[in-house]
Structure 1
Amino acid sequence: MTGKLEKILLVDDSGADNYYHQMIIEKAKVCKAISSYSQASDALDTISDAIKKGQRLPDLIFLDINMPVIDGWEFLERYEAIVPQDSRHPVIIILSTSVNPIDHERAESHASVTAYCSKPLSADKLQGIVEDYFS
């Protein structure tokens, strides 16, 4: 797989997780650019700026749900408020360590969430996501 996607966005308060997941994505060579954010507000600012400038949004967003200040659920609410419905093309994958069934149900019922995936991201999981949603 080489460069099927233009951009992947990682949103996770864990720098170590972002680093590890970025290494997995880079090694798989599935995209041209990767951005990672440890604060959801910074990721939302980047998305908002891209919309204002008419730039392409990320193809894929990996989103942690358990983050301080703005958690993944609030990120989704704000994302839906700033991104017009017809521009919501990014695949959003919840990437979390939570095994709480309520989190899984909430993710499945959320219109913007494509899937729920347990951390850590692996090469096999990434390949499955790219094949399932971008082929």
Structure 2
Amino acid sequence: MRKIWNNKIAMIDDDEIAIMIVERMIKKTGLAIEFNGYTSADSFLSSIEKFGISWPSLLFVDINMPIMNGWEFLEELKNEHLLPSTQTVICMLTSSDHPDDMSRFNQNEIVDLYFKKPFKTESFLDTLKYSRKMIAQSHNSGYNSQKIAIN
């Protein structure tokens, strides 16, 4: 299956202000990017399952959320066989310095990026660049996903 950047970004974060910040950063880039923010993992899953929303090229997932945290969300994707059939770069978000989060990031095979909040324009643009590069490189048969932590 050909993997291409589809100009879609989604974010799952219980912090509505963080979602607004990312939405504004995307608008400031001037790029034609479709953005959808979700305040819970359940609302994102409902959109995928019920409404057939296509997977974004880049998915930001906050680690520390009530009800279902980011790591539990990833387990749900695996257990329910909901992993995307197209390339989606998954970026975990955290404002924590907890060493377990970095360890889990390094051990999780479906997570590509780790982003330390707060959002800074330059770091956000780096995330866009890295995710586009990862998808472009996935066309190569010898592609080996490289994990990247962004501060």
Q: Which band: TM-score by shorter chain?
A: 0.7 to 0.9
Deviation at 1:32, TM superposition (A): 2.3
Report the equivalent of 1:83. 82
Query: C-alpha displacement at 1:6, in angstroms?
Result: 1.8
- Shift of residue 101 of structure 1? 0.8
What's the offset of the Cα at 1:31?
Answer: 4.5
1:63 aligns with 61
- Shift in CA distance, 104/18, structure 1 to aligned 2, threshold 3 Å: same
Q: Mark the CA change 1:14 to 1:90 in structure 2 (over 3 Å): closer, same or farther.
A: same
Measured after TM superposition, the shift of residue 40 of structure 1 is 0.9
CA distance change for structure 1 residues 44 and 28 in 2, over 3 Å: closer, same or farther?
Answer: same
Looking at secondary structure, tell me which structure has more helix per residue: 1
TM-score by length of 1: 0.84
Q: 1:120 to 1:88 in 2, by over 3 A?
A: farther
The answer (yes or no) to whether the contact 2:59–2:90 under 8 Å persists in 1 is yes
State, as a whole percentage, how many aligned pairs show the same letter: 28
Tell me which residue corresponds to 1:129. Answer: 127
1:5–1:130 distance in 2 versus 1, CA, 3 Å: farther
Give the length in aligned residue pairs. 128
CA distance change for structure 1 residues 99 and 83 in 2, over 3 Å: closer, same or farther? Answer: same
**Does the CA-based 8 Å contact 1:95-1:121 persist in structure 2?**
no
- Deviation (angstroms), 1:100: 0.5
**TM-score, structure 2 as length reference:** 0.75
> Unmatched 5+ residue regions in structure 1?
none
Q: What SS does structure 1 have at the residue aligned with 2:90?
A: strand
RMSD: 1.9
Preserved contact between residue 8 and residue 31 of structure 1 (Cα < 8 Å):
no
1:38 maps to which residue? 39
Unaligned runs of 5+ in 2: 134-151
CA deviation string 1:37-92 (max 9, x = no partner): 11110011112246xx4x6311101110100001101111112233256x151101
Contact 2:62 2:70 in 1 (8 A): yes
Runs of 4+ in 1 over 6 A off after TM superposition: none
Larger Rg computed on CA atoms: 2
Q: How does 1:105-116 map to 2 (within 5 A)?
A: 105-116=103-114
Within 1, Cα distance between the matches of 2:47 and 2:94? 22
